[in-house]
């Protein structure tokens, strides 16, 4: 399996050549995933655009531009809308904290290196500066805007779905149209998510919040601005033992650290995960400072600071192989040919992960080739 991930920092005010290059690089894998997960059986192109117009009209001009750059195809248009998309899962730990002087939002992104885009994008698509970690080519798993509003997501631990948008598009929308946590909460109330997700927010005033999004719509405010991979209530979360969601949540609940020291808790166990061979490792820690409008990406041996005002394009290559394997030159860096991913038995992948027996995606692909 791939044990390295290349992180690219790219700045492009409006969708253009840089986004198109990323599209050409990533679309074959996403298209294979979309087909394999029955995306073609979802809403038609007209219904997807109508849903965007109804719930997030400010994004419609950007969506139309992206579809045009992507070639205008029907499948691409439906994929980019993220209206009622195929299911997708993940991990992550989140927390926001303020003390009257400082405020921070922290997130750990837990997944396999094969399954992350590694793209930090700064844009001004609706006229305001936004930067964040991209998913599904234009959505965001976390980010910050020029008002200092910061937001991040974590999988809510339930695989059921409802009529709604991919949550990464909702986070993009929040950062494009909102200035404060309170404004963002109103958006999360009315824009439906297709799956259960936990969202943590912070803004430059020091306001913080956490909400649980239900499949098909609904946002429940939580008492504390922390989240892992389960939600309140009697529903048993998927893969709870495998993701250690309850252990991580208890750790966050008991934290007693200063705001500026919060990042240290995210870079060690139990929040930091190192089970990369099982498809569940911390690919990065992101520390957002709403006051400084900054993002710091943190790894065990280095960090990368970016601000909206002084954003610098660049690249980092992170090796997740254990230190002894790195020293011996045994880090596995072979890339997966995602154009062949439609041959993977995705139902089996989901079943294995549900019972805590997940394996590297490359091993499923190898089995498919030999079948």
Condensed to tens digits (0 to 9), the pLDDT of residues 170-190 reads: 999 999 999 999 999 999 999
Handedness of CA 174, 125, 294, 101 (dihedral sign): negative
Condensed to tens digits (0 to 9), the pLDDT of residues 16-26 reads: 999 999 999 99
Strands 119-123 and 130-135: antiparallel
Using CA atoms, how far apart are residues 304 and 297, in angstroms rounded to an integer? 5
Q: How confident is the model at residue 90 (pLDDT cuts 50, 70, 90)?
A: confident
Q: What does the pLDDT average to over 63-70?
A: 98
Strands 103-111 and 119-123: unpaired
Task: Answer yes or no: is pLDDT of 342 > 80.
Answer: no
The secondary structure of 276-327, three-state, reads HHHCEEEEEEEEEECCCCEEEEEECCEEEEEECCCCCCEEEEEECCCHHHHH
Task: Answer yes or no: is pLDDT of 154 > 70.
Answer: yes
Least confident stretch, 157-161, 184-188, 281-285 = 157-161
pLDDT at 53: 98
Q: How confident is the model at residue 361 (pLDDT cuts 50, 70, 90)?
A: low
The secondary structure of 226-278, three-state, reads EECCCCCCCCCCCCHHHHCHHHHHHHHHCCCCCHHHHHHHHCCCCCCCEEHHH
Q: What does the pLDDT average to over 58-84?
A: 98
Task: Answer yes or no: is pLDDT of 353 > 60.
Answer: no
Task: Answer yes or no: is pLDDT of 141 > 70.
Answer: yes
Using CA atoms, how far apart are residues 184 and 29, in angstroms rounded to an integer? 32
Q: Which residue has the higher pLDDT, 362 or 133?
A: 133
254: its two tokens = 């008991």
Task: Answer yes or no: is pLDDT of 288 > 80.
Answer: yes
Q: What does the pLDDT average to over 18-47?
A: 96
Radius of gyration of the chain (CA): 19
pTM for this predicted structure: 0.88
Helix (H, G, I), strand (E, B) or coil at 201: strand
DSSP 343: G
pLDDT at 338: 46
Condensed to tens digits (0 to 9), the pLDDT of residues 97-128 reads: 999 999 999 999 998 888 889 999 999 999 99
pLDDT at 327: 45
pLDDT at 210: 98
* Residue with token string 């993002």: 295
Task: Answer yes or no: is pLDDT of 337 > 70.
Answer: no
Percent of the chain with pLDDT over 90: 77
pLDDT at 159: 87
Condensed to tens digits (0 to 9), the pLDDT of residues 237-277 reads: 888 888 999 999 999 999 999 999 999 999 999 999 998 87
Sequence-ordered strand ranges (E) for 136-196: 139-145, 150-155
Task: Answer yes or no: is pLDDT of 140 > 70.
Answer: yes
Q: How confident is the model at residue 233 (pLDDT cuts 50, 70, 90)?
A: confident
pLDDT at 330: 44
* Residue with token string 């991990």: 91
For the chain, the first-to-last Cα distance in angstroms comes to 19
Whether the Cβ atoms of residue 112 and residue 280 lie closer than 8 Å to each other: yes
pLDDT at 332: 44
Domains assigned to the chain: 93-326 (3.60.60.10)
Strands 119-123 and 4-11: parallel
Using CA atoms, how far apart are residues 10 and 132, in angstroms rounded to an integer? 10
217: its two tokens = 């719509």
């Amino acid at each position: 399996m791939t044990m390295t991930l290349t992180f690219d920092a790219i700045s492009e005010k409006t969708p253009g050549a840089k986004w198109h290059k990323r599209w050409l690089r990533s679309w074959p894998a996403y298209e294979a995933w979309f087909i394999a997960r029955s995306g073609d059986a979802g809403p038609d192109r007209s219904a997807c655009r109508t849903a965007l117009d109804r719930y997030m009209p400010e994004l419609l001009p950007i969506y139309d531009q992206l579809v045009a750059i992507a070639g205008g195809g029907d499948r691409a248009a439906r994929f980019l809308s993220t209206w009622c998309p195929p299911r997708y899962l993940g991990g992550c730990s989140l927390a926001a904290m303020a003390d009257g002087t400082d405020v921070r939002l922290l997130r750990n992104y837990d997944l396999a290196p094969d399954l992350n885009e590694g793209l930090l994008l700064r844009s001004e698509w609706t006229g305001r500066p936004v930067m964040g970690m991209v998913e599904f080519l234009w959505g965001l798993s976390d980010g910050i805007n020029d008002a200092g509003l910061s937001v991040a997501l974590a999988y809510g631990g339930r695989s059921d779905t409802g009529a709604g948008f991919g949550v990464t598009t909702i986070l993009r929308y929040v950062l494009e149209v909102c200035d404060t946590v309170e404004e963002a909460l109103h958006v999360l109330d009315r824009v439906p998510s297709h799956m259960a997700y936990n969202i943590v927010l912070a803004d430059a005033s020091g306001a913080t919040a956490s909400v649980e999004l239900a499949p098909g719509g609904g946002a429940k405010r939580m008492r504390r601005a922390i989240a892992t991979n389960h939600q309140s209530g009697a529903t048993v979360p998927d893969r709870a033992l495998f993701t250690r969601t309850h252990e991580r949540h208890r750790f966050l609940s008991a934290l007693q650290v200063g705001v500026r020291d919060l990042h240290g808790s995210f870079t060690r166990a139990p929040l930091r995960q190192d089970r990369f061979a099982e498809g569940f490792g911390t690919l990065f820690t992101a520390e957002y400072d709403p006051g400084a409008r900054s993002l710091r990406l943190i790894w065990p041996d280095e960090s990368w600071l970016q601000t909206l005002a002084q954003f610098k394009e660049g690249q980092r290559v992170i090796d997740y192989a254990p230190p002894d394997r790195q020293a011996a030159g045994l880090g596995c860096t072979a890339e997966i040919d995602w154009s062949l991913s439609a041959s993977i038995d995705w139902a089996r992948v989901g079943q294995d992960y549900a019972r805590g027996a997940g394996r590297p995606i490359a091993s499923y692909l190898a089995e498919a080739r030999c079948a």
